Structure 1
Amino acid sequence: MTTVPRPLALLALAPLLAPLGACAPGGAEGASDTADDGPAELVVEPRTSGTSQLLQAVSPAGDGVVWVSGHGGTWGRSTDGGLSWTTGVVPGADSLQFRDVAGFDARRAVLLAAGTGPMSRLMRTDDGGATWTETFVMDHPDGFLDCMAFVDDRRGWAYGDAVDGGLYLLETRDGGAGWSRVPASALPEALESEGGFAASGDCVAPDGEGGVAVATGNGSRPRLLRGSGEAEWTALDLPLTAGPAAGATAVGFGADGFAWAVGGAIGEPIEGPRVALSSDGGASWAAASDPAIEGPLYGGAHISGVDPESLVVVGPGGIAWSPDGGGAWTAVHDSSHWAVAFGDDGRGWAVGPRGRITALRRVR
């Protein structure tokens, strides 16, 4: 059964519902070609993961290291730029859904499991996945973690659906070895039923200014929460489809003020924008042209080092990309993918059902 992402308030609608994910390139295939001598294309190439589980997140860690995570307690790692993969199951965790992963290097990574109450957990490895240490178990019976992001190998945040009328955000300052809750009083007031989508792991992202941005959904309007341990947290509305089981699923920040947010309606079809763009670092937003694939968008990623930024989005309808930062779109794959990420060399990966890993390469 294919899992559908969704916030805590919708848990009764389906046995598996909530998104996460991210990834990194490298390997012997060479760097992407960004010369100005012809139209750009996005090349897609299937990879063998070694697992049949739904993969929901991917994270680049530099030097050809890429981490992935998924259902059935599954984690995976490549050390050759995604050409080959090692996958495994965390002992005793085969009932958990690892909907996000953050990789720091070939040895260090953090996993986020999404689920109600104690099914939401955080784990860390310091030996390349040989052993995992549980560092947090959800401390609220109705809590539901959605995604996480690190601004460096020490400071990070994990976001979850609102509980008891307050936003839920965890913070770590030691690389995920320990977590503490950000007081709800320090955060903007939660909208009714506001939460996140544990679809790609990208509903939290570094904002390029030392803090993070959180994309929310399921409330009366999608919002972008933004702040850090030192700065006041603020909230800004996003021009995306709104309502129950709708809103923003992922957000990201590129160079020169370029930022993007994606989403849609996860449940019943709802007409409305699925991509929003910013040219001023997230201070203001406008709806973008509609991508060339159907259904909600679970994740997105920009390709670093390209001007204007190229943008790739994924969802149950496949993979679409825009070489001009969200102006025009082309569908490049029609199979379901849940998460996508690119490394600094312009190469990326998208992951999805049945252990699917698709390598992405921008060429001219």
Structure 2
Amino acid sequence: MRFLILAAVWLSMLIPIKENPSFELDQSVQVDTIFKGNFGCRALALDGNRLWFAATGSRYGFIDLDKNISSENKLEPDTLDLRSIAITKNSVFLLNAGSPAFLFEVGKDGKQKAQRHSDSNKKTFYDSMKFWNDREGIAIGDPVENCLSILITRDSGKNWHKIDCSLLPKINNGEAAFASSNTNISIHGNNAWVVSGGSHSRIFHTSDKGKTWKVFDTPIVKGERMTGIFTSDFYDSKTGFVAGGDYSKPTSNVNNKAMTLDGGKTWKVMAQDKPFGYASCIQYVPGSMGKKLWSVGATGLFYSEDSGETWKLMLNDYTLYTLVVKDQTTLFAAGKNKIVKITLKP
């Protein structure tokens, strides 16, 4: 949602953040800054021993987690706000939020290969991107007509085709998506789930890699331009979690998180009136049977070990926007001017 960029400027006035904040850290967590810079980062992706990132100022690159070294590059034009990143066996794909939109393919050496798609419509605003496999991928954005903008590739990212609105569920007036953390698309098997916000908080589901779609309502708060689902994750084809809330009321924890056990058809509100508040990213811990989740947003970094029934504040750093979970004890988070490694202590 294009409004998110403007809203981010004044959201900082709603949450008191010191110039050099002294963050409170739970005793069971260790935090190490592994990359610093003058940028905002809302897109991370793990690729073996490399952590790839996409950021403002057309910046992208990777951190070699084994060698503890980093590589950074810039795309042209150098003013792009890169908020979507996706990895295949041979390439990294980057997509900016805003108009004009550019989708780039980059080699695993970090060097730019080619521009694979562009869109100059003034309403264009892409939010996230994922791949089902090395050949088939999806990118989603705000509506230009009466449906979400959905791009599909079937040839390893060389060509991207926009799905015609006649083949997609119609969008409601005032409904769009958010580019908060590259997590409003979830992928599992042949499935993809895409979440929306604004006037409605819904989930769009395809079980055949984008050929047909259904849409379901959720109980997440809606009705205002800055309300809705900002992030989602599915542990398997049935178990999923969505979160978000009201961006203008970052501490509000009413109807801002929900879980499904039937692939998105029905949803149960979780942890009502309990932490956390507005969330920009939520992710399951792999190998946890859908029990463990991490969330980050305007009220800090939170952890759950009971499928989202209860949450524990692990770090009150309000400047983190996105995260990716490596394993049971390790995750990475990024946001304003930094990328950090977070480790659960034994």
What TM-score, normalized by structure 2, do the two folds share?
A: 0.86
Q: With CA pairs under 8 Å and 6+ residues apart, which has the higher RCO, 1 or 2?
A: 1
Which residue does the alignment assign to 1:35? none
- The reply to whether residue 274 of structure 1 matches residue 259 of structure 2 is no
* Structure 2 gap ranges (5+): 11-25
Structural mapping, 1:248-267, within 5 Å: 248-255=229-236, 257-267=238-248
Paired letter, 2:135? R
Aligned counterparts of 2:169 and 2:33: Cα–Cα separation in 1: 42
More strand by share: 2
The reply to whether residue 349 of structure 1 matches residue 335 of structure 2 is no
Query: 1:330 aligned to 2:316?
Result: no
In structure 2, C-alpha distance between the alignment counterparts of 1:95 and 1:81, rounded to whole Å: 31
The answer (yes or no) to whether the contact 1:82–1:359 under 8 Å persists in 2 is no
Alignment of 1:85-234 (within 5 A): 85-90=70-75, 92-105=76-89, 108-115=91-98, 117-118=99-100, 120-206=101-187, 208-219=188-199, 221-227=200-206, 228-229=208-209, 231-234=211-214
Q: For 2:163, give the aligned amino acid.
A: V
* Cα distance change of structure 1 residues 82 and 348 upon mapping to structure 2, 3 Å threshold: farther
Is 1:49–1:86's contact at 8 Å kept on the other side of the alignment?
Answer: no
Offset at residue 13 of structure 1 (A): 4.9
Give unmatched runs, 5+ long, in structure 1.
1-6, 18-39
Distance in 1, matches of 2:219 and 2:191, equals: 22
Q: TM-score scaled to structure 1, two decimals?
A: 0.82
Question: Could you tell me how far 1:212 is from its partner in structure 2?
Answer: 0.9
Q: Does 1:49 align with 2:35?
A: yes
Judged with a 3 Å threshold, the aligned counterparts in structure 2 of structure 1 residues 280 and 361 are, in CA distance, closer, same or farther, namely farther
Cα drift, residue 14 of structure 1: 4.8
Does the residue aligned with 1:143 lie in a helix, a strand or coil? Answer: coil
- Do the aligned residues in 2 keep the contact of 1:241 with 1:264 (CA within 8 Å)? yes
1:322 offset after TM fit, Å? Answer: 0.6
Q: How many residue pairs end up in the alignment?
A: 326
List 4+ stretches of structure 1 deviating above 4 A.
11-17, 268-271
Equivalent position amino acid for 2:164 in 1: P
CA distance in 1, matches of 2:240, 2:66: 26
1:241 Cα deviation (Å)?
A: 1.2
| Alignment RMSD | 2.5
Q: Distance in 2 between matches of 1:342 and 1:271?
A: 24
What's the CA shift string for 1:201-226, capped at 9, x where partnerless?
001110x231211011112x200001
Q: Is the 8 A contact 2:34 2:341 kept in 1?
A: no
Percent identity between matched residues is 23
1:281-333 deviation per Cα after TM superposition (whole angstroms, max 9, x unaligned): 32321111056344x21111110011352111111222111111101111111
Which residue identity lines up with residue 102 of structure 1 in the other structure? A
Partner residue in 1 for 2:297: 315
Q: Secondary structure at the match of 1:338?
A: strand
